Chains A and B, each alone.
Chain A
């Protein structure tokens, strides 16, 4: 019985998870295309201040979790080591989503560019048991100028 539940969870995780991921990627790509006209830069130190009339800080953040199947796959990966592809897509999605949230807010404010962008990633999963899926918070912040 336990085994059946486990298999069912794996299947749900795999199908629902990859469906959601594909949908999310499509959405991300669309939104990225829409916000291409505002450049992001991550320089700031030892650099002359950009010419602008107003500046304001913008923050975008997202908490993202793995699905059951990926968590299981990553556990198996731990045995052999190497590249854990399932986590790569998780963080990639999270980061791009956070960037988009910051950027869209800056665009709504009327920013012509966003400078000195900084990324930060932190694991908020807490307990380090193998079955606890990765929960990662990604935050992106920068200064919008106009």
Chain B
């Protein structure tokens, strides 16, 4: 997924580590999170039905979920920005199927200021 490519110049650094390598954490702002719930697209579902006969990757769904995950990351980053953070550390993802055909994509991390 292209988490990096759509980021603006004054980007928030995202890491899965407990800090940012080469920088020092000077302030903690606590947990930030972003989530989105997406339903399946009927056209893509029909195509996926065909694909289910031969198996393999379902590109339509991969893209759909990547988009959705990007959105949840964006929401998390927005929250971090509002707090005045310039990095989100220890980012984690979670996915859960809330209803048949709908999935929740959830991202969370700790907003910090690094120097």
Nearest B residue to A132 by beta-carbon distance? Answer: B52
Cβ of B55 and Cβ of A59 under 8 Å apart? Answer: no
Number of interface residues, chain A, beta carbon within 8 A: 54
B31 contacts across to A, CB distance below 8 A: none
Is the pair A124, B103 in contact by a Cβ cutoff of 8 Å?
A: yes
Q: Does A139 lie within 8 Å of B95, measured CB to CB?
A: yes
Contact of A126 with B54 at beta-carbon distance under 8 Å, contacts A54-B22, A55-B20, A143-B15 already known: no
A56 at the interface (CB under 8 A from B): yes
Interface string of B87-100 (1 = CB under 8 A from A): 00001111111011
Contact partner of B58 among A58, A70, A127, A135, CB < 8 A?
A135
Interface residues of B (CB under 8 A from A): 1-4, 13-22, 40, 48, 51-58, 61-62, 65-66, 69, 91-97, 99-101, 103
Instruction: For B69, list chain A residues within 8 Å (CB).
Output: 59, 61, 139
In the bound complex, what is the Cα–Cα distance between A42 and B52 (angstroms)?
33
Q: Would you call A137 and B65 a contact (CB within 8 A)?
A: yes
A116 within 8 Å of B by Cβ? yes
Whole-angstrom distance between the Cβ of B73 and the nearest chain A Cβ: 8
Among A13, A135, A137, contact of B54 (Cβ-Cβ < 8 Å): A13
B-side interface mostly? mixed
Contact B15 A51 (CB under 8 A): no
Q: Which of B1, B22, B94, B95 contacts A59 (CB 8 A)?
A: B1
Interface, chain A (partner B; CB < 8 A): 9, 12-13, 16-17, 20-21, 24, 44-45, 49-68, 70-71, 90, 97, 105, 109, 115-118, 120, 122-124, 126-127, 133, 135, 137, 139, 141-143, 145
Q: Do A115 and B94 have beta carbons less than 8 Å apart?
A: no
Q: Given A65-B58, A68-B52, does the pair A59, B20 have CB atoms closer than 8 Å?
A: no
Q: Residues of A contacting B94 with CB < 8 Å?
A: 120
Residues from chain A with a CB closer than 8 A to the CB of B19 are 49
Report yes or no: A67 in contact with B97, Cβ–Cβ below 8 A: no
Contacting pair B97 A17 (CB below 8 A)? no
Closest CB pairs A-B (n = 8): A67-B55, A126-B100, A52-B21, A63-B61, A57-B14, A59-B1, A122-B95, A16-B54
A97 contacts across to B, CB distance below 8 A: 57
B91 touches A141 (CB 8 A): yes
Contact B65 A55 (CB under 8 A): no
Q: Is the CB of B93 within 8 A of A120?
A: yes
